[in-house]
Amino acid sequence: MRQYLDRYVMPLWQTYSSPGQPLRPTNTRALHTIYGIWLFAFVLKLMGSGWDVAWHFRFLRDDLAPPHMINTVGTVIVVLLVMFHTWTGYGVDRLTLRLMQAGISIFLIAIPLDLINHRLFGLDITSWSPTHALLYLGTAVMLLGVLRGWLLLTPDSRIKTVFGLGFWAFLLEDFLFPLGQQEYGVTAIEAMRLGKPYADAELMIEAGANPERFAIPVPDWLYPLWLITSVVLVLLAARLIMRGRWTATLVAGTYLLYRVVSFYILRGIEFPPSFVPLFIIGTALAIDIGITYRINPFVAAFGTLFAFYAGAWISDRYTLMPEIPYTTTMPIAAILLGIVWAGALWVERSPYVERWRKLA
């Protein structure tokens, strides 16, 4: 054992624990290992946060709840990873490191603020609260750093593509996570209407005389506006940066696969179900087709808008889902045109090779 430690373990420890600066030479195997740990940490955070939403629609109490513990383990791994990058300089360039540091700082600041918010104002079930928004923001900034580091520093390979799709799917999930309020809310309200609520007695008392307002405390227009803006922003960026023919569709498909699997797992352990927005796969296809076949950006924007609303209309005919007011069509069309115009300008003036492979 001593010989094994002296020959293999100690050289690795001395190499990967020594101080260094960003852009320190890192071999491919080490990059795969480091970012594989990042992927594992985000899987834990995803499991915890996804379960946490269902937990809040079933129980009033959540101190030391299992979802929080799982999320905490993932967060601890992330903190250790950021400390590793900061100390050694392995696996990052300067901007990547700053994004990771900023993201985990925002996230860690949000935790005590959220606890104070709960102590002062009681139960905060909505995913749209300011302190919860800081948690999503911190995670998004971290993910942008991880994506930059992974795409810039790893050589082209199948692993690079698979991990890249995974990190983009995590980013999409982080953007769409607040919508769980409406997606769980509509099923919770329907269950109460049928006299078979998922919530326990304590939570029903907390909901008071207006459980509909308690379950969905935000206006109807927010759901479609946030959903399509987030989907188009993330998937368009993924498609333009990774350049794979069906990148947007694969990222959306990966996210939806997670949602479907978690839906059946949570239902299997008797937690509330949620609506799963399967129709966004049509939006992803529209993005891929528009870029692959070089369709006029404005025509592509309206095609994407049509795919979104047509998919929502079909979905609404067959399942219970959050309301999508069609009065939101015009403002969303204006937003999409702006996003697509900005994307086209980015492609013209800041090509992938010149920007994303230029190390800071």
* Domains in the chain: boundaries: 20-355
Residues 269, 1: Cα–Cα separation, whole Å: 44
At residue 17, the pLDDT reads: 78
Amino acid at 292: T
Residue 73 is encoded by which pair of tokens? 């383990």
Residue 24, strand partner residues? 90
Residues 237, 241: Cα–Cα separation, whole Å: 6
What secondary structure letter does DSSP report for 224? H
How would DSSP label each residue in 317-348? Answer: HHS------GGGHHHHHHHHHHHHHHHHHHHH
Residues 72, 142: Cα–Cα separation, whole Å: 16
Residue 195 is encoded by which pair of tokens? 């006299």
Whether residue 252 contacts residue 283, with contact meaning beta carbons closer than 8 Å, is answered with yes
- Give the three-state DSSP class for 320: coil
Amino acid at 315: S
pLDDT tens digits in sequence order for the chain, 360 residues long: 566 555 545 666 676 778 989 999 999 999 999 999 999 999 999 999 999 899 888 887 666 788 989 999 999 999 999 999 999 999 999 999 999 999 999 999 998 998 887 777 666 567 888 889 999 999 999 999 999 999 999 999 999 999 999 999 999 999 999 999 999 999 999 988 888 888 887 788 777 777 888 888 899 999 999 999 999 999 999 999 998 889 999 999 999 999 999 999 999 988 999 999 999 999 999 999 999 998 888 888 889 999 999 999 999 999 999 999 988 888 988 888 888 777 777 765 655 434 443 433
Look at residues 220, 330, 319 and name the one whose alpha carbon lies nearest to residue 275: 319
Whether residue 198 contacts residue 250, with contact meaning beta carbons closer than 8 Å, is answered with no
Distances (CA, A) of 81 to 71, 101, 138: 15, 10, 15
